[in-house]
Structure 1
Amino acid sequence: MVLHIPAGRNGLYLGMVPEEAAARHPYAPITLDHDMDLAPEAGRQITVAELAGLVADTADRLWAAGVRPRDHVALYKSHNFDIYVLACAAARIGATPALLSPALDGETVTALLDRLDRPHLITDPGKLADELARAPLADLTSRVVLVGTDGRPGAVSLADLAGSPRRHPVRLAPDAPALMTHTSGTTGIPKLVVHTARSLYGRFRPQQKLAALIRERETYAIHVSFVHSRMFMALAVVLPKGMPVVVVDDGAPEKVAPLFAKVRPGFVETHPNSFMEWEELVDHPLRPLANVKYFSGTFDAIHPPTMQRLLAASRRHKPLFFQFYGQSECGPLVGRWYTARNAGRANGRCLGFPIPGMTHVRIVPREGRRPSKQHPGFIEVMTDGRAVNYYAEDERFERELNGKWWRTGDVGYRDRFGRIHLLDRAVDVIPNVESTLEIEDTVLGRLPELSELVVVPGAAREPVPVVSTRNNEPLDPLRWRQAVVEFPQLADPVQLPLSELPRTATMKVQRIELSRRLAARTAERSA
């Protein structure tokens, strides 16, 4: 039975976020750097009220296409802000959107569709003709819903369902599945992470409290993956505040510079690796970062030199850089902020403190040793924002549970002040290396010509530094040796263009895949 309950402290209902925000700030502007495939006629400048209307209209069309409460709706289409619209529309009528990254290959998507047990599939002609060309969609899905007008026979086009009867929103019980996202899939087929309205509210609360500290109505610019839960949490916070929003799809510095020079954002959020790329904007003649008061990263720790350079580009009084550590399964867990004065001296491995009253962190010994920098322990967390399952993989999820505690997969320690230090992912630990991430922080701070540095295990488990330079300039061997003199265990560096580094949807380098590629290249040369 579908339960209709009011939104509030029991849960965060994504399908209602735009409508509830529009009731408070209908004319707040949303700027896009691209046209929506779903509604190209909407243009690149819309209001919150227009967004709410688009979500409601799309929900009506999805109902007309046969989508019903508690149905699974797999979303796999080209990267575009309309992914947010489509997901909210599905949630508005009580369905569960499952967001699949556009970067996933057809084989992986086929496996995930099979796991979802005949979901509705929302896709586009490009994906049908390319990645899904050989997928047995008739067997894998209940129906194919198309964003666009041309496609295969049997697909339902949303464009043909214009004018569908209006449907009232459906709010399911707060512990019913409300959203599925997926993990990076660095070790195989990604896991489908199940969020509920209650767990989404658990991760929404700390972000709402942080936003309440920002009194100014800053223009908020965001560049994160549209299939990541962070996009949905971010807009759930800023839309009700009436903050002007700028949604960035193309994060190339040469595209961001004129956009930011025009909209002058006061709050900027993106992935750590995108922040690294945006270091090019620091000295840009358009001064695109001059009005930024707040920078924020919520995916991984950010290298201190990057924070220092970006803060130096701001002309605002006492700009701040917020750094949060979190996971897809749990949301934000630990955080701290930096100023222009202390960012350069920061210990990049120190993530800060758990969020008071909302998240709890403990360090569990590995191999019976007391956790320390030399012998890091497993980081475990307890939070109301934790997801409830991996869909169709209950045992896999339960393996990471220790009672109410969730094992993050990272290793680290707690210092005498109670701050959490993250040293590595457990699967990335290399013998004779205290922290690959610490090495990367240190060397990147010494060599500004590097755009990326990743230390991964080689064929003999030796630490291999993989470097990318700005503009693909050759690495200076002498400067490299001087920069790594205190890390004699490092093998010779391997230089690759930034574009050749395998990445996740959130722009993190896939270390295991990178290590595999290096091993394959070594084997080819030895053959």
Structure 2
Amino acid sequence: MHLAHFVYRSARNHPESSLWLGPGIDINYAEGARRISNIAHNLLTLGAQRDRVAIMSKNRFEAFEIFLGAQAAGMAATPLNPKLHADEVSIMLSDAGARFFVFSPDFLEIAELLRPRHPEVEHWICIEDRDGFETYGSLLLGGRDAAPNILIEPDDVAWLFYTSGTTGKPKGVMETHRNLVSVVEQLRLCLFPHVNETDRVIHFAPIAHASATFGLVYLSVAGAQIFPELPRFDPPKVLESIDRFGATASFMAPTMVQMLLQVPDIERYNVESLRDIFCAGAPMYAEVMKRAIEVFGPIFSQGYGQSEAPSQCGMHKSEYDLSSPEKMKRLASIGREYPAVLMRIVDEDGQEVGSNVAGEITVRGNIVTPGYWNRPEATNEALKNGWLHTGDVGYRDEDGYIFITDRVKDMIISGGSNIYPREIEEVLLEHPAIDEACVIGVPDVVWGEAVKAVVVARDGFDDAEAVIEFCRERLASYKKPKSVEFVDSLPKSAYGKVLKKDVKARYWQNSSRAI
């Protein structure tokens, strides 16, 4: 079983149903499957099974198409966050050993900059024709109706997903066909048993992340994939697009939902076609969920997972009930584990704790990654005695609902993006006027958390904008600090370690948070 099978099965059962929709675009499953077959055959002509195909693109159907084409060729699709800095992309290309780099013209400058640095990348393919680069159209040639006749094993890597580590060095999470097929099965069973070929999922969140995983659920039943081609998440245009295309479903990070709720006169937009909004990727505030249900109706489901185990547990929309005081408490829960997932909450010794006792969440099941690409030490650290240690602290109540209370690691989640402080701290310490740095997440009404740098500077230096600009030149824009505070010293333990919890405390002490 492999992911591309979803498309071929849907093409056989519902050939005339729309696969790709967008402005001026309507490609049905029969034609879509032929396009994916041609891509797969042509990739194998240029490369070999199990090669890595790096993809950097704005949200457009061709990016999802090459993702599926690579998998039909038995290769590992490697979508890269479109917000990344060129230097970060370079590190990932080297680490993955990518043979292909497929990009939309928005990233032409990055491709031109990196091509001389990466002779191992043999094929630089632009989705639109650009001088000096191979054309995406050449991958569509051949007129083949069937996928390549190759054996794709369940444990072959389907998606090499890059996530920054706590050391600041990106790690490639190996998500296999077994992992992702299991994710789709669990989501279909628990959250979306009702979806069918009449559904239309619209993509606003990056398909290099969870929006593609959500899209796979709809591919498995011949649902349409809508790409409205918005340059950014513009709430009024998002609402207009839902109406224009008759979208029935979408994946949204909690920040996106919060931004929609801030649209003036939101009730004037027609979003009656929406039946499902799936929220994941960051903590969801209870008050935001309550307001969202009041405005949009009971159409929200919530998932919990991470790159290493994309779908561990969740809340179906039927479990939210604003009229029930008992169910209102669940607004802050991430739900119960899925049937084919084992979750334990353990203490520091790895022993399972009882109900309403906090501990680290650990998980087993077919959704769990086999490890990190070329990182055996990191793999052994995350996967201990057969269990993935998530780094999240939470508890399970007497009804089996799980609540997250904290994170073991210091990861910041801003607008659904994972940001690791040490990576930013290392950049800050390159600044000639900064002696010490501590990066934390602080409450933000729009983004959930915002990146804040607390620094010890020398010689009276206190130019916050210069520090932010220094980071902007060296990091992806979304990672740079939104604010900088200058202090005389940072609190430290007896061993000289900065007490980050103490630094964070005064920013969070008046914040009530439900995640």
- What range is the shorter-chain TM-score in? 0.7 to 0.9
Paired with 1:419 and 1:211, the residues of 2 have a C-alpha distance of: 15
Q: How far 1:204 moved relative to its partner?
A: 2.0
Cα distance per residue 1:373-398 (max 9 Å; x no partner) = 99842111112111112111121111
Task: Give the residue type in structure 2 aligned to 1:158.
Answer: Y
Gaps of 5+ in 2: 426-435, 448-464, 489-515
Paired with 2:123 and 2:38, the residues of 1 have a C-alpha distance of: 20
Identity %: 21
Q: How far 1:200 moved relative to its partner?
A: 1.9
Task: Give the residue type in structure 2 aligned to 1:198.
Answer: R
Find out whether 1:334 has 2:310 as its counterpart.
no
Cα distance per residue 1:229-272 (max 9 Å; x no partner) = x3443333223424344345533112112222233434332222
Paired with 1:211 and 1:32, the residues of 2 have a C-alpha distance of: 24
Find out whether 1:413 has 2:395 as its counterpart.
yes
Instruction: Indicate if the aligned counterparts of 2:90 and 2:114 stay in contact, CA closer than 8 A.
Output: no
Give the TM-score of the pair, scaled to structure 1: 0.72
Residues 25 and 468 of structure 1: CA distance in aligned 2, closer, same or farther (over 3 Å): same
Paired with 1:463 and 1:156, the residues of 2 have a C-alpha distance of: 43
Q: Which residue of 2 aligns with 1:345?
A: 328
Q: Which residue of 2 aligns with 1:14?
A: 3
Instruction: Indicate if the aligned counterparts of 1:282 and 1:309 stay in contact, CA closer than 8 A.
Output: no
Within a 5 Å distance, the mapping from 1:19-38 to structure 2 comes to: 19-30=8-19, 32-33=21-22
Cα distance per residue 1:5-25 (max 9 Å; x no partner) = xxxxxx3x2233222211111
Q: Which residue of 1 aligns with 2:202?
A: 221
Paired with 1:61 and 1:214, the residues of 2 have a C-alpha distance of: 36
Q: Which residue of 2 aligns with 1:99?
A: 79
Q: Which residue of 2 aligns with 1:490?
A: none
**Secondary structure of the equivalent of 1:214?**
coil
**Secondary structure of the equivalent of 2:11?**
helix
**Secondary structure of the equivalent of 1:233?**
helix
Instruction: Indicate if the aligned counterparts of 2:355 and 2:397 stay in contact, CA closer than 8 A.
Output: no
Equivalent of 1:522 in 469, 473, 486 = 486
Equivalent of 1:313 in 284, 291, 295 = 295
Paired with 1:518 and 1:421, the residues of 2 have a C-alpha distance of: 30
Q: Cα RMSD between the aligned structures?
A: 4.1
Residues 326 and 464 of structure 1: CA distance in aligned 2, closer, same or farther (over 3 Å): closer
Cα distance per residue 1:179-204 (max 9 Å; x no partner) = 21122557523211112222222222
Paired with 1:311 and 1:150, the residues of 2 have a C-alpha distance of: 46
Residues 23 and 271 of structure 1: CA distance in aligned 2, closer, same or farther (over 3 Å): same
Residues 239 and 340 of structure 1: CA distance in aligned 2, closer, same or farther (over 3 Å): farther
Paired with 2:249 and 2:333, the residues of 1 have a C-alpha distance of: 23
Within a 5 Å distance, the mapping from 1:119-518 to structure 2 comes to: 119-130=99-110, 132-134=112-114, 136-152=116-132, 155-160=133-138, 163-164=141-142, 166=144, 168-169=147-148, 170-184=150-164, 188-210=168-190, 213-214=193-194, 217-228=198-209, 230-248=210-228, 250=230, 251-280=233-262, 283-314=265-296, 319-337=298-316, 338-342=320-324, 345-356=328-339, 358-366=340-348, 376-428=358-410, 465-468=442-445, 518=483
Q: How far 1:113 moved relative to its partner?
A: 1.4
Cα distance per residue 1:441-471 (max 9 Å; x no partner) = xxxxxxxxxxxxx9x999998988443479x
**Secondary structure of the equivalent of 1:136?**
helix
Paired with 2:201 and 2:98, the residues of 1 have a C-alpha distance of: 38
Find out whether 1:56 has 2:20 as its counterpart.
no
**Secondary structure of the equivalent of 1:331?**
strand
**Secondary structure of the equivalent of 2:170?**
coil
Bigger shift: residues 417-426 or 234-243: 234-243
Q: Which residue of 1 aligns with 2:494?
A: none
Q: How far 1:347 moved relative to its partner?
A: 4.9
Task: Give the residue type in structure 1 aligned to 2:335.
Answer: G
Q: How far 1:330 moved relative to its partner?
A: 0.8
Paired with 2:136 and 2:446, the residues of 1 have a C-alpha distance of: 45
**Secondary structure of the equivalent of 1:413?**
strand
Bigger shift: residues 266-275 or 379-388: 266-275
Instruction: Indicate if the aligned counterparts of 2:47 and 2:99 stay in contact, CA closer than 8 A.
Output: no
**Secondary structure of the equivalent of 1:223?**
coil
Cα distance per residue 1:92-130 (max 9 Å; x no partner) = 122222221221111111111111235222234543424
Q: How far 1:63 moved relative to its partner?
A: 3.5
Residues 312 and 374 of structure 1: CA distance in aligned 2, closer, same or farther (over 3 Å): closer
Q: How far 1:285 moved relative to its partner?
A: 4.6
Q: How far 1:309 moved relative to its partner?
A: 2.3
Task: Give the residue type in structure 2 aligned to 1:164.
Answer: G
Q: How far 1:88 moved relative to its partner?
A: 0.9
Give the TM-score of the pair, scaled to structure 2: 0.73
Bigger shift: residues 243-252 or 69-78: 243-252
Paired with 1:71 and 1:368, the residues of 2 have a C-alpha distance of: 38
Residues 125 and 324 of structure 1: CA distance in aligned 2, closer, same or farther (over 3 Å): closer
Instruction: Indicate if the aligned counterparts of 1:349 and 1:423 stay in contact, CA closer than 8 A.
Output: no
Paired with 2:309 and 2:40, the residues of 1 have a C-alpha distance of: 28
Residues 245 and 371 of structure 1: CA distance in aligned 2, closer, same or farther (over 3 Å): same
Instruction: Indicate if the aligned counterparts of 2:58 and 2:206 stay in contact, CA closer than 8 A.
Output: no
Q: Which residue of 2 aligns with 1:72?
A: 52
**Secondary structure of the equivalent of 1:345?**
helix
Gaps of 5+ in 1: 1-10, 35-42, 430-435, 441-453, 471-495
Residues 101 and 342 of structure 1: CA distance in aligned 2, closer, same or farther (over 3 Å): farther
Paired with 2:261 and 2:35, the residues of 1 have a C-alpha distance of: 36
Paired with 1:18 and 1:464, the residues of 2 have a C-alpha distance of: 40
Task: Give the residue type in structure 2 aligned to 1:48.
Answer: Y
**Secondary structure of the equivalent of 2:268?**
coil
Cα distance per residue 1:412-467 (max 9 Å; x no partner) = 122233322111221239xxxxxx99xx9xxxxxxxxxxxxx9x999998988443
Task: Give the residue type in structure 2 aligned to 1:197.
Answer: H
Paired with 1:137 and 1:368, the residues of 2 have a C-alpha distance of: 45
Task: Give the residue type in structure 2 aligned to 1:18.
Answer: V
Q: How far 1:410 moved relative to its partner?
A: 0.8
Residues 265 and 156 of structure 1: CA distance in aligned 2, closer, same or farther (over 3 Å): closer
Paired with 1:388 and 1:369, the residues of 2 have a C-alpha distance of: 23
**Secondary structure of the equivalent of 1:191?**
strand
Task: Give the residue type in structure 2 aligned to 1:225.
Answer: P
Instruction: Indicate if the aligned counterparts of 1:359 and 1:381 stay in contact, CA closer than 8 A.
Output: yes
Q: How many residues align?
A: 441
Paired with 2:9 and 2:175, the residues of 1 have a C-alpha distance of: 21
Cα distance per residue 1:42-81 (max 9 Å; x no partner) = x3333222322222232343344x1221222222234433
